[in-house]
Structure 1
Amino acid sequence: MDHYSFDQLPHAVSELHQKLDSIQDLLLESRQPVPQTIELMTISQAAEFLNLSVQTLYGKVCHREIPVSKKGKRLYFYKSELEEWIKSGKKKTMSELREQLPSLVVGRKGRRH
């Protein structure tokens, strides 16, 4: 730790202020959201990403089982939509089902058959 004389204090405070400004700038830069790039995929890229054959993927598109965009004769897939599609098929674990059970039981009590 440096010891400053009374005469050196204004210079030391100025240096300290500059360093704090630099730290603040770095913190503000790191807090800014990173712009998300929209990753568009061709059918071949989507098939590879999903680990499916192109033919299987065409079948899913034909049966409207998977999110797809069509421009002219070309098919395009958004990576984020494919990730959401995969997540939508997630099977719940036993603990998740147990947590959900009380709300299901309460919901059925009010119904009449």
Structure 2
Amino acid sequence: MCTITFEQLPSAIAQLLSKVDRLESLLMETKPSCVPEEDKLITIHQAAEILDLSVTTIYGLVHRREVPHQKKRKRLYFSKPELLDWARSGRRKTNAEIDAEVNTYLSTKKRA
């Protein structure tokens, strides 16, 4: 490592900055394609935080299969985009609406 005098300091800093800029541009070009942040799975605690609900409430929603989730072994995972879409969808069909759809479907299938 060479010794830099006070007079050489501005040119040394300029060289250093240009090297850092070159390194940064190289890193941006060779950046590996990784999984986008939105597609990563989140835990039940993170899901509770995103939805502003308690963990117990999330467990209840999972038990009733009302919220999209994935289960591996004894752990629950959620996809953040699916969770946000579920929260935004808001309205759920009532049992009467589901029954009406089933009856309509069955009546058209019997004729065919």
TM-score by length of 1: 0.47
